Structure 1
Amino acid sequence: MAQPTVCYAVDVECVATGTDHNSRSVAQISVVDEHMNVLLNVYVQQQQPVVSYLSPLTGLTAAVLQQFGVPLPQALAAVRSVLPRHAVLIGQNIRQDVQWLGLQEGQDFDSMMDLQGLFRVWNDKDARKSMALFNYYRHTMQPDPRAMQAAHQALLAAPPPPSFAKRNTQFEGVCMGNRRTCTCGAPFFG
C-alpha cells in the first residue's frame, strides 16, 4: 500500500564565507510539517571564517551560531531523522536547499515542489511561511482553478518589492548574486 503524501517545508540560511556570490555555508536549517509544527530548527557551527553573516537577510549573528551551533554532520543527521522517505519537500528555491543539505531525491525524500513555480513571486525564505503558502494553494487554489487564476491576476497586478540582492548588490563586501549587477565574476549555476 502506498504511503500518503506528507509535505514538509525546508528552509536553509547561509552565511558568506567569501566575497563572491557562490561562497556560502549552511548556518541554519528549519523543517516544518504541513500542520505548521516546527520539527527542527538547528544552527550550524562554521568551520571556515565567516566574511558576513548577512544578518538583514538571514537573521543570523556570530553569537547565535557560537552559542547554539552544532557540527554540520549532526545537523544533517537531525534533518534526515525528521524527514520520512515518502516526504514531499516544499520551499522557495527548494532545489538549492536540497543541494546544500546533500539530500537525494528518491533516497532521503520522495519529491519536491518549488513555491516559485506555483506563484512566481518572492517570499521570505521562511519554512513556516512556505508551508502556509503551500497549504493555501493545496486547500483553496488547487481544487478551484478560478481561484488560482484570480490569484495569478492579483500577483501580476501588484508590483513586486525589490529583492535583497536588488536593493544591495553587495553587502559587507559580499556579492549578492544579482545577475545584472554582479561584479565578482563567479559563475551562475541554474
Structure 2
Amino acid sequence: MNILQINASVRRDANSTRVADAIAARLRAAYPDARWNVRDLSRMPHPILDEVALGALFTPAAERTPEQAARVALDDALIAEVQAADVIVLGVPMYNLGVPVQLKSWIDAISRAGVTFRYTEKGPQGLLEGKKVYVALARGGRYRGTPLDTQVPYLKAILGLLGISDVSFFYAEGLNMGPEAARQGFAEAEAEIAAAFA
C-alpha cells in the first residue's frame, strides 16, 4: 500500500492539514505497513504552468534543452508519485472560493495528455484508475452544498478526467465564524472521518 498526502495550504500549521492528518491517522491505523509520502506544497511549491513550461512539454524529449528537460523532470516526479500511490489524501483550504494556486500547479503538473489521461474518439479517458482519494476541506465559512462551493465540482471533474472516481470529501467549515463555530466545524469533520473508517 502506497499512500500519498498532499498538503496544499500556504500555511504550515493549516486547518486543512489538521483535517488531512486526521484522515492520515486513520489510514496509518488501518495500514500500519503502508509506505507514506507527504508533499507539503508550502515548503516545496511547484512552479506554475507558464509559456516556458508549456514549450518544454511540447518539445520532443530528444530536442529539449537542458533547461527544458529539467523543467519537465519536475512534473515527471509528481506524476511518478501519483502513479505509485494507491491512496491519495488532499488537504485543501478554500481561498477566495477556489483551490489554492499551489494545488492548481500540482494538478496542472500531473494532468498530462498521453500519460495520466488520453483523448479518444469517445472523449478523454483517465489513466489513473483504481486509486482512492480522500479530500480534507477547510473553509472559513459554510459553503457545503451551495453554489459558492466551487471546489468540490472542480475536484470531482479533474480527478474524474484522470480516471479517479472513488473520492470522499470531509468538511471542516465555519472556522472563521467564532471559536464555537470553529470547534463545531472540526468536530463535524472528525465525526465524518470516524464514520467513514468505522
Tell me if TM exceeds 0.5. Answer: no
TM-score (structure 1 length as normaliser): 0.29
TM-score (structure 2 length as normaliser): 0.28
Bigger fraction of residues in helix:
2
